Amino acid sequence: MNLKVDICGKTLKNPVIAASGCFGFGREMSIQYDLNTLGGIALKAVTAQKRIGNPPPRIAETPSGMLNAVGLQNSGVDQFIVKEMPFLDKLDTILFANVAGSTIEEYIEVTEKLQNIAVDFIELNISCPNVKEGGNAFGAEPDTIYKVVKQVKKVSKQPLIVKLSPNTVDIAANAVAAQEAGADGISLINTLIGMSVDVDRKRPILANISGGLSGPAIKPVALSMVYKVAQAVSIPIIGMGGIMTGRDAVEFLLCGATAVMCGTLNLIEPDGIPNVIAGIEEYMTQHKIDDINELIGGLIV
C-alpha cells in the first residue's frame, strides 16, 4: 500500500501533517510517539521579535469545537533557530516553518532568516485572526495577498505554501491571487472568527473577546472551501479543519487536497495523528485502494 504523496518535489511518508499552533515545536509530543511516523509537522508561528501573546483566558469550548486566542506567542525567529532547530534537525519528517508578521517587511525578515535553516517549506500565515495588525488583514483580499506573497517569494528558496483564511468573501479568488504571485501551494483553512459569552457574568469568555473557531464544527466549511480552491488552482492543496479520523482525512483528499493537517485533534488526543494515519490505511484496505494518490480529487459529482 502506498501512502506517500508528493508536494513541490518533496515526498511525504503519508499525507498527515500536524497543523501549526497545535503541536508546539514537536518536543512535547515526542514523548508520546515517534514523530518520524508523521507526514510532516507545521511548527508554531514565528515572528521577527518575541511576542508574549494575549492575556488569558485564551480558550473557550463551543459545540463540537473550540475558540482560541493565543495571539502568536513565540520567542522570535532568532530564538527559534537557536533553541528549537537542534532538536528538529534530527527528525526525519517534513518541516513547515509557519511565518507570521504585522507588516510585509516582517514576513520578509523572518523568511530571510530561515533561508539557511533545514525547514522544507515556508508556510506563510496570512490568516491569524487573533492579532490586531497583519494576520487576517493580509489574508482577506486578493490584492494584499498578491503583494505579500510576491515579496516573500522573492526571498524564499524553500517552496512557499500560503495559508488562507476562511474569513473572506471569495476564497477561490484569494487562492488564485496567491498562485499568480508565485505560491507553490495553498493550505487552508485557518480558524473562523467567533465569540462565546458567559451569560451569568455578561462577559465574553475570551479575554481577547473574539477568537478562532476550530475542530469538528468547522469541517463542512473547510471541505467546501478546499473543494472550491481545488477547482480554481493547479498548485497542490493542503486541507484542514476539524479532522478527527482517517475517514475525515479521506474526505479532504477526495475534495482535492494532496495532504491534510490536524490541529485541534492534538489538543484532545495525544495519539490522534497516528490513529488518523491508521484510519486512512483501514479505509484503503476496505476500498481496495493501493495508492493514496488515487483518492486525491477523486470526488464523484
Partner 1 sequence: MAKRIPNCRITSNELVADDTYLMQFECVTKNATPGQFVHLRVTGRDDLILRRPISINSIDTKNNIIKLIIQAKGEGTKALCVLKAGDVMDIISPTGRGYMLSKKVKKAAVIGGGIGVAPLKYLIEYYKNVEFDSYLGFRSDCYAYQLDEFKALSNKLYVCTDDGTYGEKGFVTNRLDMNLEKEQYDVVLACGPKPMLGSLKKVIDKHKVPCFVSLEERMGCGIGLCKVCVCKTQEDGEENYERVCLDGPVFDINKVVL
Ligand X SMILES: Cc1cc2nc3c(=O)[nH]c(=O)nc-3n(C[C@H](O)[C@H](O)[C@H](O)COP(=O)(O)O)c2cc1C
Question: Contact between 266 and partner 1 (CB under 8 A)?
Answer: yes
Backbone angles phi, psi at 197, to 5 degrees: -120, 135
Q: How far apart are CA 275 and CA 267, in angstroms?
A: 14
Choose among partner 1, ligand X, none what residue 175 binds, the Cβ cut-off being 5 to 8 Å by kind.
none
Catalytic site residue from 22, 128, 255, 262: 128
Choose among ligand X, partner 1, none what residue 53 binds, the Cβ cut-off being 5 to 8 Å by kind.
partner 1
Residue 174, all three cell numbers = 484569494
Q: How far apart are CA 123 and CA 162, in angstroms?
A: 6
Figure out which of the listed residues 14, 47, 54, 68 binds ligand X, where binding follows CB under 6 A.
68
Is 142 or 272 the residue whose CB approaches partner 1 more closely? 272
Is 230 or 289 the residue whose CB approaches ligand X more closely? 230
Continuous segment of H or E residues that includes residue 143: helix 142-155
> Min. distance of Cβ 294 from partner 1 in angstroms?
31
Query: Using N-to-C axis directions, what is the helix angle for 219-232 and 246-254, rounded to 10°?
Result: 30
Q: How far apart are CA 125 and CA 190, in angstroms?
A: 9
Q: How far apart are CA 3 and CA 188, in angstroms?
A: 21
Beta bridge partners of 95: 41
Active-site residue, 262 included: no
Asked whether the beta carbons of 48 and 101 are under 8 A apart, the reply is yes
- How far is CA 103 from each of CA 38, 50, 99, 153, rounded to the nearest angstrom? 32, 15, 12, 15
Choose among ligand X, partner 1, none what residue 266 binds, the Cβ cut-off being 5 to 8 Å by kind.
partner 1
Question: Contact between 20 and ligand X (CB under 6 A)?
Answer: yes
Is 59 or 104 the residue whose CB approaches partner 1 more closely? 59
Asked whether the beta carbons of 18 and 40 are under 8 A apart, the reply is yes
Maximum pairwise Cα distance, the chain: 55
Figure out which of the listed residues 214, 258, 283, 295 binds ligand X, where binding follows CB under 6 A.
214
> Min. distance of Cβ 189 from ligand X in angstroms?
6
Figure out which of the listed residues 70, 94, 161, 205 binds ligand X, where binding follows CB under 6 A.
70
Give the residue carrying C-alpha cell 474569513. Answer: 167
With contacts defined by CB under 6 A, name the span among 19-27, 151-159, 224-232, 279-287 that binds ligand X.
19-27
Is 16 or 176 the residue whose CB approaches ligand X more closely? 16
Asked whether the beta carbons of 195 and 204 are under 8 A apart, the reply is yes
Figure out which of the listed residues 7, 58, 178, 261 binds partner 1, where binding follows CB under 8 A.
58
Is 164 or 289 the residue whose CB approaches ligand X more closely? 164
- Residue 88's SS3 state is helix
Figure out which of the listed residues 6, 56, 103, 170 binds partner 1, where binding follows CB under 8 A.
56
Site for ligand X in 234-273 (CB under 6 A): 240-243, 262-265
Site for partner 1 in 204-243 (CB under 8 A): 215-216
Torsion of CA 69, 75, 81, 83, to 10 degrees: -110
Q: How far apart are CA 191 and CA 89, in angstroms?
A: 29
Figure out which of the listed residues 218, 223, 235, 238 binds ligand X, where binding follows CB under 6 A.
218
Figure out which of the listed residues 101, 134, 215, 236 binds ligand X, where binding follows CB under 6 A.
215
- Chain residues in the site for ligand X (CB under 6 A): 19-22, 44-45, 68, 70, 98, 125, 128, 163, 190-191, 214-215, 218, 240-243, 262-265
Query: Catalytic site residues?
Result: 128
